[in-house]
Structure 1
C-alpha cells in the first residue's frame, strides 16, 4: 500500500488505494437498484445514470487525490458544490434511494474541508438530507433514519482520517528536518575537532618554517633541527587526523539499527527490530562494530534485492555446548531459494570482520533469507569460521 500521506508511486499502489476507496461505493446499490427497476422514463433513467457516474467521478477525484496532494480551496468548494447539487437534484426528481448520495457528500466534507469548517458542514449536509426526506414519499420511514447516523459518523470519521494524514506528513517532514540538523551538527563538530587538532600543529609548523628560513644561511645545523621538528609535528598531526576520522567512521550497533529501521520503513518493509542494542560487558573488543556492519549489509540487501514485506532482527545472548554467544539474527520473507547460497564479497567481508572477534556468520535461503552472526563471550572464543554464502 502507498504510505499514508503520499501519492501512489506506481499503478499497483494506485490500484490498491482506488480499491480501498471504491469498497465504500457499495452503498450506492440503492440508487442503482432504483434505476434498474425501470419505473422511470427513458430520459429520466439516462439522466440518472449520467448523474450517478458524474457524482462517483467527483467523489473519487476528491477523496483519492485530496488525501495525498490537496486541491486548492476553490477546487474543493467547486467539487463539493457539484456533488451537493447532484444529490439534491436526483433526490427531488427521482426517488428516496438517492438520498444516500448525501452520505458521500458528508464524507467528502470530512475528507477535504478543515475541521473548523467540516464540523458545521457535516451536520448541515445531514440536515438538508433530512429536510429533503420530508418531500420524498416513504423516505422518513425507510431511508432517512438509516442514513442520518452514517452521514454524521462517516463525515467526522473522515475528518479524523484527514487529521491523521496531516499529522503523518508533518511527522515525516519533522524527521527529515531532524536528520538534516543532525548532519549539519555533525559537520560542525568535525570542523571544530579538525580545527582543534590542526590549528596548533599548523601554527607551529608555520613558525618553525619561518625560523628555519632565517637560520638557514648562517646556522644550517640549527635550521636542520627546526626542519626535523617540523617533520615530527607533521607526522603527529597526521596521526591525530587519522584517529579522528576513524572515530567518525566507526559504526555503532544502535546507529545502524536506527538506520535500518528508517531504510526498511521507507522501502515499505515492516521492520521488527530490538528496542535496545546493548552488548554484555564481556563482549570482545570490536564486537559492536562488527555486528553493526552485519546490520548495515543485511538491511541493504533486504531493501535492494529481497522483495520482502517483513524483516525481523533479534539480538540475544545464547548458551550453547560451545559456550555463551551473542547472536544477531536477521530474517526476511523475501525471495529465497533451495540450497545454500554461493559465497560472495558481501558476506565474505562480514565473515572477515567477525573473525577478528572470534565470531562466525551463517546464512540460509529457503522461505526468505536468514543471516546469523555469532560472537563468543567466553575467554576462549570458539574456533572456526562459518560459511559465508552470498547474500541475495
Structure 2
C-alpha cells in the first residue's frame, strides 16, 4: 500500500533531529542514552579513585576535578538544548577541559589519560573546522607528553585513538552544522514560497477587482443619469451591474483557489462591453486563432488585456481605443503579441502603478515582455509572449 503524507509526518515525528533541541521526553531519553554510552571511558578514573591508591585529599580533589570535567563536557554536548552557546562560551569550556585533562592525568596517574579522548571529541564536535584541525593534534601531543611522566606505553596507544576519534567527530560536527543550515534554508524556502503565493493572489485580486469594480462604477453612473428620463435603459444597466458583480464573485473565488486561467476570447468580448460602457469607441478583433498556443501564454495575454482596458477606462480619458492580437516572428522565435493603443493621456502617474508592475512579473514568468508608455497620439501597451511553452 502506498504511504500518504501522514506516514511521512509520522516518520518525521519518530526521528531524532540532529543538532536540534529535543521536542519531547522520548527524544531527550534517546539523546541522553546515546551520549551516556560514550562515558564508558570514565571507568578507569572512577576505578582508580575507588581503589584507594591516593590520599584522602587527592581522592577528594580528583573527585571534584572529575565531576567538573564531566559537567563541562556534558554542557558542551548538550549545548543546543535551550539557548545555544556562543562561540566564546564554547571556547571557554574547551579551555577548561584542556586544563583539567592534563592536570588530572599528570597528578593522579595513567588511569586518567582517557580524559583526553573526551577533550578530543569536544574539540572535533564543537570547534570550527580550522580550529579543530590544530586543537585535536595538540590534544594528542599533550597526551603523549603527560604520558611520559606516568606510562609512556599507555600514552602511545591512546594518541592514535585520540586523534582518530577527534577527526571523526569533526565530520559529525560538520554534519550537524550542515543539517541545521539545511533546516534553516528549508524554512526560508517555505517562507519565500508563501510570499510568492501572497504576491500572486494580490496580483490576481487587483486585476480581477480593478476591472470589475471599474465597470460597475461606470454602469452605476450611467444608470443614475438615465434613471429620471429612461428607466428602461437604467434597469438594463442595473441588470448588467448584477451580472458583472456575480461574475466578479466567481472570478475571485476561482483566483483564491488558484484554478482560474482567464481566456483571451472571453476577455476580448468583455473589452468591447467595458469600453462601450465608458463611451470609448473600440476596435476589437473577433475571436483570435489560438491553435497551438499554450494555455499559460493565452492566460498571460488575457491578464494583460484586462489590465490595459482597466487603465483605459479609469485613467486615460481616451475616447478611442484599438486592440490587436498578432502573431510575430522575433529573434527568439514565434511570439503572440497584444497591442492596446488609445488616444488618452495614459494616466496622471509618472511611473508604473501596481497593475503594470504585477503584469510585468506575470509576463516574465511566462517568458514574455511588456512595453508600456506614451506615444505621439496617446498611450500604447504591448505584451509579447512566446508561442512555445516557457522552459521554466
Change (3 A) 1:66 1:218: closer
Offset of residue 70 of structure 1: 3.3
Alignment of 1:81-230 (within 5 A): 81-136=95-150, 139-141=151-153, 143-230=154-241
Partner of 1:350: none
Partner of 1:5: 19
Offset of residue 67 of structure 1: 7.8
Q: TM-score, normalised by structure 1?
A: 0.59
1:43 paired with 2:54, answer no
Q: Helix, strand or coil: the match of 2:78? A: helix
Partner of 2:323: none
Taking the aligned partners of 2:249 and 2:100, their CA distance within structure 1 comes to: 77
CA contact (8 A) 1:80 1:108 kept: yes
What do the CA deviations read for 1:170-196 (whole angstroms, capped 9, x no partner)?
111111111111111112212222233
Aligned residues: 246
Offset of residue 123 of structure 1: 0.5
Change (3 A) 1:108 1:68: farther
CA contact (8 A) 2:21 2:80 kept: no
Change (3 A) 1:91 1:242: closer
Partner of 1:236: 247
For structure 1, list consecutive stretches of 5 or more residues without a partner in the other structure: 250-392
- Structure with greater Cα Rg: 2
Taking the aligned partners of 1:233 and 1:76, their CA distance within structure 2 comes to: 66
Offset of residue 163 of structure 1: 1.2
CA contact (8 A) 2:116 2:143 kept: yes
1:28 paired with 2:21, answer no
Taking the aligned partners of 1:66 and 1:126, their CA distance within structure 2 comes to: 27
Change (3 A) 1:128 1:189: same
Offset of residue 237 of structure 1: 2.1
Change (3 A) 1:107 1:65: same
Partner of 2:88: 74
For structure 2, list consecutive stretches of 5 or more residues without a partner in the other structure: 1-14, 261-392
Q: Helix, strand or coil: the match of 1:70? A: coil
Change (3 A) 1:186 1:27: same
Taking the aligned partners of 1:176 and 1:248, their CA distance within structure 2 comes to: 26
Taking the aligned partners of 1:110 and 1:244, their CA distance within structure 2 comes to: 53
**Regions of 4+ moved over 6 Å:** none
Q: Helix, strand or coil: the match of 1:5? A: coil
What do the CA deviations read for 1:247-284 (whole angstroms, capped 9, x no partner)?
459xxxxxxxxxxxxxxxxxxxxxxxxxxxxxxxxxxx
Taking the aligned partners of 1:95 and 1:236, their CA distance within structure 2 comes to: 88
Alignment of 1:45-64 (within 5 A): 45-64=59-78
Taking the aligned partners of 1:19 and 1:65, their CA distance within structure 2 comes to: 16
Q: TM-score, normalised by structure 2?
A: 0.59
Offset of residue 68 of structure 1: 7.8
Q: Helix, strand or coil: the match of 1:190? A: helix
Offset of residue 9 of structure 1: 2.9
1:19 paired with 2:40, answer no
